[in-house]
Structure 1
């Protein structure tokens, strides 16, 4: 302040300048983004890079990955939903089943979030815990987001999933997994991703030996899957459902803002292709319930129905290490 006075400025003007600087500095601090909360992996999860460091084209320039969960955010079954965003490079979080119950079956989980965020606990870690409880090895795919404003929001996430499926098969012997028991489970936008991966060929050029493996799942579980079919009927352009497509277990609520036609039309196309499908449409339940049980909301019992379906198809039978190499 003395320096300004020496320049011949009045004391009043000097005080005014000082206050403006003070207020302006405070405004800048107030409007800086809040320090991002880091997203820590679960203690027992092994985190794997989906793409090698050489694949620089498989990175998004989206800033620091962070957790956007708010204390006053929406409650699902009395709990908040962890929401992470700015995933620049895909990761696969491996949750192996305990050895004494391990079936050798694997499921890659794709959380939803409208291609803006990933509902990391509701549609990720909680699903992994359920799968582990029935002897299934779980992989949570932290696919690239946000991509919602891209011309094809599902393109990069689908590449991530197809590469992840190939990775699981490539490492099947090391992880004691069955190559012919690799499923995918996706919610909302994640349901769109698993449908794209199931009904299209690999969307990227092979990079290494991982990509010698098949990138198509043996079974899929879309739960309130979005944008899988066209309004006029049929799968979205570029997707094809045929006799070689993976079996499906479909879950949807009639009152979901995502049209129930996504489930019904997909089931019709499965029937047309003569591929077995289980389709469960409940009258109420809305959208985004994950696997959290809600009293008097029957749709939240879907994990029990899915377990029965998996058992019926033989995917919950335990296998030996030798079988996993087939």
Structure 2
């Protein structure tokens, strides 16, 4: 969702002092191929690195499917595809929320009798790109946030992702909220504890001296 999980998040990051860009990528289909989102993300990072707007480094923030893509951009590029942008800039840190990291992949699903995702290129993307076991090492510090009772993206993804980052040498900040809807983004009801995750993330950013 470009609005709630893209533009709104970019404005929040901008308010903290970051230049923030929203990636609007191609979706995987028979015309673009399964790797389209990953290639678009890699190209965007290259453009940002060459723009001169990020002298202190580049970081990644992704929620939901953007969480999967964000983690994919920190992973080894699959050998079954050819990247138009083989060189990647260094990533300073990542903020990843409720993404289907590997539970959509064949053989690693949690939901019983889960059917393949349409179109077949989308399923291929999730089968090929499983960031929790493909992260480049050393991985950057990461802030991870998930819902324990998410009906769409099983919380298992959070544990897999945290383990993957830990094995790749990254400091991990992991927050799992017992009761929160899928797609909580930045605008959850104030009475829900999950509404405090942006404040927790800001504290993490300050602790690591990325913001003042």
Larger Rg: 1
Aligned-partner SS, 1:184: strand
Q: Partner residue of 1:205?
A: 84
Among 106, 109, 132, the alignment partner of 2:14 is 132
Q: CA deviation at 1:227?
A: 3.1
Q: Partner residue of 1:37?
A: none
Aligned-partner SS, 2:62: strand
CA distance in structure 2 between the partners assigned to 1:292 and 1:243 by the alignment = 34
Q: Partner residue of 2:175?
A: 280
Among 301, 311, 314, the alignment partner of 2:196 is 301
Are the counterparts in 2 of residues 241 and 270 from structure 1 also a CA contact under 8 Å? Answer: yes
Q: Partner residue of 1:236?
A: 130
TM-score normalised by L of structure 1: 0.52
> Given the alignment of the two structures, is residue 156 of structure 1 paired with residue 36 of structure 2, yes or no?
yes
CA distance in structure 2 between the partners assigned to 1:135 and 1:242 by the alignment = 28
Are the counterparts in 2 of residues 184 and 221 from structure 1 also a CA contact under 8 Å? Answer: yes
Provide structure 1 residue ranges, at least 5 long, that are not aligned to the other structure. Answer: 1-118, 318-326
CA distance in structure 2 between the partners assigned to 1:237 and 1:310 by the alignment = 23
- Cα distance 1:279–1:245, how it changes in 2: closer, same or farther (>3 A)? same
TM-score normalised by L of structure 2: 0.77
> Given the alignment of the two structures, is residue 311 of structure 1 paired with residue 174 of structure 2, yes or no?
no
Are the counterparts in 2 of residues 243 and 273 from structure 1 also a CA contact under 8 Å? Answer: yes
Higher RCO (CA 8 Å, separation ≥ 6 residues): 2
| RMSD across aligned positions (CA) | 2.8
CA distance in structure 2 between the partners assigned to 1:238 and 1:278 by the alignment = 15
Q: CA deviation at 1:295?
A: 2.1
Q: Deviations over 1:66-116 (max 9, x none)?
A: xxxxxxxxxxxxxxxxxxxxxxxxxxxxxxxxxxxxxxxxxxxxxxxxxxx
Q: CA deviation at 1:133?
A: 1.1
Q: Partner residue of 1:323?
A: none
Provide structure 2 residue ranges, at least 5 long, that are not aligned to the other structure. Answer: 111-128
Q: Partner residue of 1:4?
A: none
Q: Partner residue of 1:218?
A: 92
